[in-house]
Amino acid sequence: MGSERSVVKETFFRLGYQPAFDGLRGIAVLAVMAYHTYTPLTRGGFIGVDVFFVLSGFLITTLLLQEWNQNGAINLKNFYARRALRLLPAVFTLSLVWLLYISLFRPEHFTETFKAILFVLFYCANWAKAFGQGELGWRDSLGHTWSLSVEEQFYLLWPALLVALLRLRLERRWILSLLVTGIAASAVTRASLWASGSSAMRLFNGLDTRADALLIGCTVGLLATYNLLPQTRGFLLTIKGLAIGSALLLAYLVFRANWSAGYMYLSGFTVVAGATAIILIELLGSPSKLVLLILEAPLLVWVGRLSYGLYLWHLPLYRITVPVVTHPEWTWYERLGLRFAVTFVVASLSFYLIEQPCLRLKHRFSAAPAKSA
């Protein structure tokens, strides 16, 4: 039994730091930020959120499975402590700063903003928007936090379920089947609700109707960790071709997609997640030098590292700049430039002064075995 276990461990894929993933995050967050400036070239930039969903599912699943293979167990307490250190300091800071700003300069919006912040801090902003809350805070300045709520709900559910499945010694094919069933169930639920007349707001924000992207990422993580992705020349060439097509498709959708259009709810969001998954598989295999040159560009990697703060702060800061950028003499690219500049300054302060010091505490909750801690 011991020798068999060691052989299994040796054949497992181990995920180290991949700068290209940060590059992909950078592109995704820039698309979302541009989308919220209402520029004519990025009307579909909202799909950047789906890229984040797939990446989240992939990374969390891969890290959990690596911990299981290394230790024979997963410490959920430490996992949630690491997640808290990553997510909570920045969102607490945003909440306090924004509430202070509203109390000083927009006191008439204090009550609605305080209520919205409660939705944010309890990670249920998505359900508030899905079931009639509408705008969160002063003209929806916290509305973008719906996706953070979806991810946090996923973090609460999936790791616990995965641990249970692993403890039951369920075969990999059954875990994979469960993931595929979940993907299909989410996509079918979304399409069925759309066909029956449910609102786009309900379907765009619900965990049940957006889980397919997260689960597609989980599926790639499982396949990669268990070395179930073929490494034959034919497979790699096929993936390379599909990845090029996927990148072109995502670029087209960033320019043309409409978040409230029926095709997005009938199949579009699943297609976006699938295209992102193919690009991930390409990065895990043998990515071309051109792809790495783009995604590992230092500036883009830096943007990806700042992506959480950029996402958190951009919409409130955009709201503050409205009186300036709505001046008729401002062009769309001048509006975009000002808003990007302000957001990058604040997100950089958040990253270096708040997020990074807290992240340095993560080693206290390491996934490594106790004897090597």
Q: Residue 13: helix, strand or coil by DSSP?
A: coil
Q: pLDDT category, 9, cuts 50, 70, 90?
A: very low
What is the rounded CA–CA span in Å between residue 341 and residue 262? 35
- Residue 282 Cα distances to 224, 242, 277, angstroms: 11, 9, 9
Phi-psi region of 135 (alpha: psi -120 to 50; beta: other; left: phi over 0): beta
Of 54, 66, 61, which Cα lies nearest the Cα of 14? 66
Nearest 5 degrees, angle CA 212-CA 217-CA 223? 120
pLDDT tens digits for range 37-71: 988 889 999 999 999 999 999 999 999 999 999 99
- Residue 173 Cα distances to 61, 107, 166, 319, angstroms: 15, 56, 12, 48
Amino acid at 192: S
Q: Residue 135: helix, strand or coil by DSSP?
A: coil
User: What's the chain's average pLDDT?
Assistant: 92
Six token digits for residue 261: 């259009």
What is the rounded CA–CA span in Å between residue 67 and residue 61? 10
Q: Residue 263: helix, strand or coil by DSSP?
A: helix
pLDDT tens digits for range 100-151: 999 999 999 999 999 999 999 999 999 999 998 778 999 999 999 999 999 9
- Whole-number percent of the chain with pLDDT over 70: 95
Helices and strands, counts by H and E, the chain: 19, 0
The C-alpha torsion from 271 through 277 and 280 to 285, rounded to 10°, is: -110
Identify the pLDDT of residue 3. Answer: 40
Phi-psi region of 72 (alpha: psi -120 to 50; beta: other; left: phi over 0): left
Q: Residue 310: helix, strand or coil by DSSP?
A: helix
28-37, 121-130, 323-332: range with lowest mean pLDDT? 323-332
CB 263 within 8 A of CB 203: no
Residue 8 has pLDDT above 70, yes or no: no
pLDDT average, residue stretch 9-18:
68
pTM score: 0.93
Burial 265-276 (b: 16+ CB within 10 A, else e): beebbbbbbbbb
**Within 10 A of 175 (CB to CB), how many other CB atoms are there?**
21
Q: pLDDT category, 72, cuts 50, 70, 90?
A: very high
What is the rounded CA–CA span in Å between residue 14 and residue 67? 10
- Whole-number percent of the chain with pLDDT over 90: 82
* Helical packing angle, 2-11 and 48-71, nearest 10°: 150
pLDDT tens digits for range 155-203: 999 999 999 999 999 999 999 999 999 999 999 999 999 999 999 999 9
What contacts 326, CB < 8 A, 6 or more positions away? none
Q: pLDDT category, 6, cuts 50, 70, 90?
A: very low
Six token digits for residue 207: 């965990």
Q: DSSP readout, 28-71? A: HHHHHHHHTTT-TT-TTGGGHHHHHHHHHHHHHHHHHHHHHHHH
